[in-house]
Amino acid sequence: VIDADAAPCSVGVVVVAAGSGTRLGAGLPKAFVPLRGRPLLGHAVDTVARLPQLGSLVVVAPPEVADPAGASWAGVDLPPDAVVVAGGASRTASVAAGLAAVGDVDVVLVHDAARCLTPLAVFERVVDAVRGGAAGAVPGIPLVDTVKTVDADGVITGTPDRASLRAVQTPQGFAREVLVAAYRSGLAATDDAALVELGGHHVVVVEGDALAFKVTTRDDLEHAERVLAQRAGAAAERLPD
């Protein structure tokens, strides 16, 4: 959809951060839960801000904390031209709100704030695949568990070949006009690619990363804390005496 030779390519990133995070039980929206003293969202934004082709950044926040001057935003270093909009009751509604504010860019990436440790290389692989002509690209990793389909009574109805399955992550990237058209369909889905696939478009999987895991439970938050603590430890060891 995008002519890879037609440089430059501008990328708009929609970071969805409007979920309630009830499964974390922290009493505040998940994206604003502290991870080593800063909101999850702050860690996610740090990586997005390093994306070389970044043309616009939209953060979709819970309506009750949609003012970036508010106290919850301490530790979120927004680039000066970033835009904050209020999200909706579902992830789909939140993405739609972000998409409406992303502006005139070639490629849109939709990223979960909750996947706050996703490495920059994953963003770059997604952008490269869309620039290379795919309508959409999503990071994915092979499954370690065998997956079953079941009916309402829990009876197994099938065992898909594990080699053909991928667990997909974010950022998910698309040619902007393709994603806008997919959202116009008014359908809902658990990921953005599903809406684009329904439109008959070619969406590819690029290599994901274990660090793109979604913080959902307290265990996930503790895992993220350990990753950052290890990094800080390794960085301290590298410092000269």
The contact set with ligand C5P (CB under 6 A) reads 16-19, 30-31, 60, 87-91, 94, 112-114, 214, 216
Q: Give the closest residue to 192 by CA, choosing from 156, 216, 168, 162.
A: 168
Among left, alpha and beta (phi > 0; psi -120 to 50; other), residue 37 is left
Cα–Cα distance measured from residue 175 to residue 107, given in angstroms and rounded to the nearest whole number? 5
Compute the least distance from the CB of residue 233 to ligand C5P, in Å.
28
Q: What minimum distance in Å lies between the beta carbon of 83 and ligand C5P?
A: 15
When CB distances to ligand C5P are compared, the closest residue is 19
Q: Least CB distance from residue 109 to ligand C5P, whole Å?
A: 13
Name the E strands within the chain: 11-16, 34-35, 38-39, 54-61, 83-86, 107-112, 136-142, 149-150, 156-158, 166-168, 172-175, 203-207
Q: How far is the CB of 157 from ligand C5P (least distance, A)?
A: 25
Task: Choose between 113 and 137: whose C-beta lies nearer to ligand C5P.
Answer: 113
Residue type, 99: L
- 89 or 232, CB closer to ligand C5P? 89
Nearer to ligand C5P, 88 or 119 (CB): 88
Q: How far is the CB of 23 from ligand C5P (least distance, A)?
A: 8
Environment class of 194 (CB within 10 Å of its CB; exposed 0-12, middle 13-18, buried 19+): middle
2/44 with CB nearer ligand C5P:
44
Q: Please, which residue, 62 or 131, has the CB nearer to ligand C5P?
A: 62
Tokens of 163: 């080699």
